[in-house]
């Protein structure tokens, strides 16, 4: 099993697990590897620390020496990773608690606003013009880009 640190074209960092290097390259070539944050398929490998599985009695010192990392770089990376994780968690939370009405978003929002149907939490697509019209009518909308990875379970 190969565990790779990957980066998308927008520099979002994430981890990918593959059966082999050939498996990774094959999935990459077929466009199957995408960023869980933004769905970008322009993926490249980042720097990965090797993982060594040493048997208990194989050497006198089976525990690898810690690698020194500059404190600021480590802190920035953890903050970046924590923000990505929080964003993906929030996006999944929204997806789980809203109904996707697709292109009918503007019409459904109007029908709820004017009392024609019962209010419920919805999400969908609207053009910038439709969103502006909804806002002018006093209908609160929030543009929010939800990554495809938030809409389905990760495997």
Tell me the per-residue pLDDT of 73-126, one tens digit each, with 9 for 90 and over: 556 666 777 887 787 888 888 888 999 999 999 999 999 999 999 999 999 999
pTM recorded for the entire structure: 0.53
Q: How far apart (Å, rounded) are the C-alpha atoms in residues 149 and 155?
A: 10
Tell me the per-residue pLDDT of 126-154, one tens digit each, with 9 for 90 and over: 999 999 999 999 999 988 877 666 666 65
In angstroms, what CA-CA distances link 48 with 4, 12, 44? Answer: 6, 15, 12
3-state helix, strand and coil shares in percent for the chain, rounded to the nearest 5: 35, 15, 50
């Amino acid at each position: 099993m190969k565990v790779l640190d990957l980066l998308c074209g927008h520099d979002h960092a994430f981890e990918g697990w593959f059966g082999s290097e050939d498996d990774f390259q094959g999935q990459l070539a077929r466009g199957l590897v995408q960023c869980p944050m933004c769905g970008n398929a322009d993926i490249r490998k980042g720097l990965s620390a090797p993982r060594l599985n040493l048997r208990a009695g194989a050497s006198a010192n089976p525990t690898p020496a810690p690698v020194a990392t500059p404190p600021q770089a480590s802190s920035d990376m953890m903050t970046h990773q924590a923000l990505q994780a929080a964003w993906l968690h929030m996006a999944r939370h929204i997806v789980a608690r809203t109904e996707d009405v697709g292109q009918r978003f503007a019409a459904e929002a109007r029908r709820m606003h004017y009392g024609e149907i019962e209010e419920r939490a919805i999400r969908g697509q609207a053009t910038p013009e439709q969103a502006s019209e909804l806002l002018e009518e006093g209908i609160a909308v929030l543009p929010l880009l939800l990554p495809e990875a938030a809409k389905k379970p990760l495997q």
